[in-house]
Structure 1
């Protein structure tokens, strides 16, 4: 028999969700059978699959030892720990991700990526140790493309991750980007609503009307500066689908400078999209674990692509 004490990063999870993370090699069918047969208990009592765990609960597991032999993941120690930190407190880390850096680990263990850098940084500063956690790993709260520079929010603990994800879902976290787009815009500013579907070849397809499999996506854009062939554009992201800004502006016949994947000119000197997530506003009003972030604005001091824009003719 093994006993697990539920910590602060484990609580408020369903029993089955917790077990899926804590014992990843335990088949779900066997997990459900063990719960039914009282081979898995909470506080030495029969539990239900949907029961919510509380901090300080104890879980008794009468299972084969093989399911407890999961190797602790320390691959994050193979990547650098250097980060461009824009904001940090006990709950959150907001960093400026460099263009070209993966957000998450790819298939190749040891390949440099932002999330492993964050784990390494937190490990060095004694804010994360995988040996002390049952089910939680610090995580990014939203996506960002490999070749997009800019602000990324990471949560250090489970309560902050849940709270930030809820605020993002409720559109209480406003993200603004700046980009270089090709062509001359007819309108100085516009609200755009289109429909998005991502295909197996990792390309976003856009339609102007609803269709099965397509999700609504929205942006507000404003032209900050217009040249003969290029525009410096501020974009407010109102939804969060893959490649959304890139695909939407390409659909409007204004692909991002350097973004060959979505129709940019092959003559562009850069072969990645000129896009930067430069500003985040936190606009919720309710009290929660992230109450100190209410009304805050986090913004980059320097945006590299602006220099690129001014160098264009």
Structure 2
């Protein structure tokens, strides 16, 4: 027999959802059958699986240890990467993701920020194989592999849910820094429609939708300085779609420096030869939280900034010092 005491990381979900995580190798028919036979009970009573769990509830599994081991597996990819943590509390952690790191796996063999996060929490003693059976910390927003900057992760289920809600409702204000081709002297607000080509993993910006799958996008930017035919922008990402900043700015004649997918190859080759730049200069720089109450209220109206990568900072410094 094994006993699961419901914590804040399991509370708020249905019992059958918890069992599907805990007995993740078992067919759903198995644990429904076990509940009917009272081999799995909630607070000592027969359960159907649709009960909403509360913190402190007790789930008992009157099953052989061998059966539980057979139907329960925890896969952990331990890593040695030192994460750049900007902020951390009991519910969330903000990480400055470096260029070159995946936000999430694209295929099974990948190692992403999620795996680095889980290893980080293991090393800190905040996770164990047992807790991972019912809850797995994860990220709440994604950045392209070669885009650096702030990624928000949920360490607890309430934290993960609250951050997901803020991103979905767009009450979190996300600001990026990017170096673009061309001279820009005025603020701009852009609207359009984004069409994605799954085969080429590229997007196209349209003035109006041509297909029901096309997505509306909104982007704002403010020039910080301009020099040598390039401009450093602060971009507010109002909607957050695939390659939105890169494609939207390129469609306006201002592709990002280092962006070979949407940019100017000749100019990018120049920066690669001079600085060794191999990817776009795009950085998720600042995150502004709204007024918050209840879960994660400790973040209410807080502002967080992630330092730009050293190469980005070096290029900007040298450009501004040129006469």
User: Residue 225 of structure 1: SS of its match in structure 2?
Assistant: strand
TM-superposed CA distance for 1:32, in Å, is 5.4
> Separation in 2 of the partners of 1:240 and 1:61?
43
1:167 and 1:284 in contact (8 A); partners too = no
TM-superposed CA distance for 1:126, in Å, is 0.9
> Separation in 2 of the partners of 1:140 and 1:173?
15
Question: Which among 282, 289, 302 is matched to residue 289 of structure 2?
Answer: 282
Residue aligning to 1:14: 14
Trace 1:122-141 onto structure 2 (pairs within 5 A): 122-141=121-140
Give a deviation string over 1:67-89, Cα, whole Å, max 9, x none: 6423322312xx11412122222
Residue aligning to 2:197: 199
Residue 291 (1) aligns with residue 278 (2): no
TM-superposed CA distance for 1:290, in Å, is 0.9
TM-score w.r.t. the length of structure 2 is 0.84
Give a deviation string over 1:90-120, Cα, whole Å, max 9, x none: 22221211111222345364x6532222222
TM-superposed CA distance for 1:30, in Å, is 5.0
> Separation in 2 of the partners of 1:144 and 1:63?
43
Aligned length: 308
* More off after superposition, 137-146 vs 23-32: 23-32
Trace 1:105-124 onto structure 2 (pairs within 5 A): 105-107=105-107, 109=109, 112-124=111-123
> Separation in 1 of the partners of 2:262 and 2:208?
20
> Separation in 2 of the partners of 1:8 and 1:203?
40
> Separation in 2 of the partners of 1:102 and 1:196?
23
TM-superposed CA distance for 1:62, in Å, is 6.5
Trace 1:221-236 onto structure 2 (pairs within 5 A): 221-236=221-236
User: Residue 262 of structure 1: SS of its match in structure 2?
Assistant: coil
Residue aligning to 1:45: 45
2:93 and 2:155 in contact (8 A); partners too = yes
Gaps of at least 5 residues in structure 2 are none
> Separation in 1 of the partners of 2:48 and 2:205?
44
> Separation in 2 of the partners of 1:17 and 1:34?
15
User: Residue 121 of structure 1: SS of its match in structure 2?
Assistant: helix
2:139 and 2:153 in contact (8 A); partners too = yes
> Separation in 2 of the partners of 1:230 and 1:245?
16
> Separation in 2 of the partners of 1:206 and 1:56?
51
The change in CA–CA distance for 1:292 and 1:132 in structure 2 (over 3 A counts) is same
Residue 248 (1) aligns with residue 254 (2): no
Residue aligning to 1:155: 154
> Separation in 2 of the partners of 1:28 and 1:178?
47
> Separation in 1 of the partners of 2:127 and 2:137?
8
TM-superposed CA distance for 1:133, in Å, is 3.8
